[in-house]
Amino acid sequence: MTDRAETPLGFHVYGSGAALKFEQGLNEQGKPVLAVDGCNKAGSHFDWGNKIMLQLSDREVPGLLCCVLGLIPEFEARNHGATRNKSVHLVNQPAKQRIYVKLSRPEYAVKVPMTPDAVFKLGGLALQVLSAQTGFDPSTCLAMLRGTAGRLYSAHP
């Protein structure tokens, strides 16, 4: 039997023309991050060989969670990668019952709408990552998000 601690926490989201993978990982310094990979479809298969990869740090995960929880309408993380040209952008679209995700680098973008069940999984995973990043339990992280980051981000136009 495999120990759960040895298996990375994560999941895939598939759209009609693109796919995303969210996973708890570690950066080069060994610190917890939320890893996001994405690729477009090439023919009948997803082209994971031409994927975009980025990692969200402890400075970015609270903002992503505030978006996922609906405390703010959108979230963007830019200037990722060695050449600082990768980004991820999430937009709440409640009228369409989804969060729209765009992962991009110059000349290439991966766009996937996330249904409520996938948004739920992303929220749970991101809470686990934030807990690992901060050392607080997920319930404390959630309470602190609502009382601090959510309040401050939502006051910003």
Question: From CA 64, how far away is CA 90, in angstroms rounded?
Answer: 8
Q: What is the three-class DSSP state of 26?
A: strand
The whole-model pTM stands at 0.90
* Residue 58, amino acid: D
Band of residue 154 on the pLDDT scale cut at 50, 70, 90: confident
* pLDDT of 88 strictly over 50: yes
Q: What are the tokens at 38?
A: 């994405």
- Assigned CATH topology for domain 4-148: Transcriptional Co-activator pc4; Chain A (2.30.31)
- Provide the pLDDT for residue 1: 38
Percent of the chain whose pLDDT exceeds 90: 85
- Provide the pLDDT for residue 74: 95
Q: Where are the alpha helices (DSSP H) in the chain?
A: 61-68, 116-134, 138-144, 150-154
Nearest alpha carbon to residue 80 among 113, 106, 117: 106
Nearest alpha carbon to residue 21 among 118, 127, 89, 124: 118
Band of residue 7 on the pLDDT scale cut at 50, 70, 90: low
Band of residue 153 on the pLDDT scale cut at 50, 70, 90: confident
